[in-house]
Chain A
Amino acid sequence: MKYLFYPGCSMESSALEYKDSMYASLQALGAEVEELEDWTCCGASVAPVMSDLLGMVLPARNLALAERAQSSAVGGVGGGADGDRQVIVGCSACFISFQRTIEAAADRAKLEKMNRALEVEGLTYHGKAQVRHLLDVLANDFKRSEIEAKVKRPLTGLKVAPYYGCQTIRPYASFDDGQVPHSMVGILEALGATVYHHLHEATCCGTALLTTKPELGLGIVGTILADTTAADCIATVCPMCHMNLDSYQDKVSQVMGKKLSKIPVLFLPQLIGLAFGVPEERLLFKRHVVPVGPALAKVPA
């Protein structure tokens, strides 16, 4: 399997451990991943608020780069071999920005308008590139037996609470259910972990409300954390979800007026890497705010 990877801003900075562990996991599974060159911000949920066109053009710029990278490879777009390299993203905000643009590009008038803007960058977007979320790739491109075969250190006894959040699965995810998501289950079981199901697997993490409306945002995070305390850790697939659930646990306790027990929050590829025997330093656990140690201690060496 060959993929073209769009990291997005967060995976380059605050969520670097997500990117590094993604590379480690996919490489262990035999996949080839190449980073898209010269990428820029997808515009997240901000660009569509600035203007309709900006909301489409910022993702379109990167999709145009991806199409160019695909067609420069053997076979061209959809032409087999390297031409089939799909674009993957790990961030929900990037995922949804690209899906909105791909949907809009089906309207020729909108596509033309995007391209009139992209002229200044010397780029053309054809509306062809498809974008997949890393969770989709991990859940559907590898057989369970392939994952099991790579496990060197089974996560036996580790109770993991899957947390999907919102934009990974709503409204675009064709690979999972927007209300009762399940795509992490098979992966976690293949790693030997115990899946701890809870009521807030598809609840929003509060996104930017943690910054703009802290009381409200912290309350939303508190609801999720309070429901997962019986697990050893939470598994996420989004930099924003991770930042909100991991960094604000002290503040959540302050706002809720009761001390919640701390729960480590890990990116799913970190758990995969751990089970595959990737050295812990490479999985960058030291970057987490809530120490990951207690969860790691549950995993047999």
Chain B
Amino acid sequence: MTSSEVINLTAVKRDLAFGDRLIPAAQHLSTCIQCGTCTASCPSAAAMDITPRQMWRMVQLGMVDEVLHSKTMWLCSICYQCQARCPRGIPLTEIIAKLKQLAIQQQIKEWRESTTFYLTFAGVMRRYGRMRELEFMARYFLSTNPMEAIGYTTMGLTLFRRGKVHLEMPKLGGKGRLDDLFNRVAELEKQQ
């Protein structure tokens, strides 16, 4: 979508409770005045298909599919600049995490390299209780774009030589360090 495109809202499937599902009513997104401070503050805005300002308007309008299929949320580097500067005090960066939750739950395929990043990170964390950077990067590149990894070989070898990354044997079977905690969290989330 570009800013000049005409949107026929009658043709769009909408959920007017979209914004309320993302944050409690007290910090309601409806107070957004479309000033564009978020877009102006965003280091990634130029690469987005819809700008942050446009995205928040679409959330207000309940355009769930358009928002969840856009790559905008995946280009957020979580720098909190939009949230820090929002004149309405809306916790925009926090709401982006909620949007990502929904996109992962609905298994939206377009931005697989981003969702894989999160799922792989969570998997390594669960297994070892701590991040293993090398195993995480290996698993991430293998399940997204192995060819991309080749572009990183030189850098990877430099990091290895400098002792910045080190080899540890991956643990394939057995119980993960945080399995119990992750399982309990999943149970409690289901009870809601």
Within 8 A of B (CB), among A197-251: 203-209, 211-214, 216-217, 220, 243, 247-248, 250-251
Residues in A neighbouring B177, C-beta threshold 8 A: 40
Does A184 lie at the interface of the complex (its beta carbon under 8 Å from any beta carbon of B)? Answer: no
Residues in A neighbouring B122, C-beta threshold 8 A: 46-47, 50
Residue of A nearest to B47 (CB): A216
Does B37 lie at the interface of the complex (its beta carbon under 8 Å from any beta carbon of A)? Answer: no
Cα A214 to Cα B141 in complex, Å, equals 13
**CB-based contact B47/A213 at 8 Å:** yes
The dominant DSSP class at the B interface is helix
- With contacts A49-B104, A170-B80, A208-B77 taken as known, whether A13 is within 8 angstroms of B97 at the C-beta atoms is no
Residues in B neighbouring A195, C-beta threshold 8 A: none
Residues in A neighbouring B188, C-beta threshold 8 A: 53, 113, 116-117
**CB-based contact B104/A120 at 8 Å:** no
Does A127 lie at the interface of the complex (its beta carbon under 8 Å from any beta carbon of B)? Answer: no
Name the one of A43, A120, A211 contacting B184, with C-beta atoms under 8 angstroms.
A120
- The digit string for A170-188, where 1 denotes a CB below 8 A from any CB of B, is 1100000011000000000
Cα A121 to Cα B81 in complex, Å, equals 36
The dominant DSSP class at the A interface is helix
**CB-based contact A166/B182 at 8 Å:** no
- The digit string for A127-148, where 1 denotes a CB below 8 A from any CB of B, is 0000000000000000000000
- With contacts A10-B131, A53-B189, A121-B181 taken as known, whether A166 is within 8 angstroms of B97 at the C-beta atoms is no
Give me the interface of B with A, judged by CB distance under 8 Å.
43-44, 47, 74-75, 77-81, 83-85, 93-94, 97-98, 100-101, 104, 113-114, 117-118, 121-122, 125, 129-133, 137, 140, 148, 151, 154-155, 158-159, 162-166, 177-178, 180-186, 188-189
In this complex, which of A40, A118, A207, A243 has the most chain B Cβ atoms within 10 angstroms of its Cβ?
A40
Residue of A nearest to B140 (CB): A211
Residue of A nearest to B119 (CB): A50
- With contacts A166-B79, A170-B79 taken as known, whether A48 is within 8 angstroms of B159 at the C-beta atoms is no
- With contacts A49-B97, A120-B181 taken as known, whether A287 is within 8 angstroms of B164 at the C-beta atoms is yes
Interface size class of A (residues with CB under 8 A): 35 or more
Report B133 CB to chain A, min CB distance, Å.
6
Residues in A neighbouring B158, C-beta threshold 8 A: 247, 289
- With contacts A46-B125, A167-B79, A178-B84 taken as known, whether A40 is within 8 angstroms of B43 at the C-beta atoms is no
Report A90 CB to chain B, min CB distance, Å.
15
Residues in B neighbouring A65, C-beta threshold 8 A: none
**CB-based contact B155/A117 at 8 Å:** no
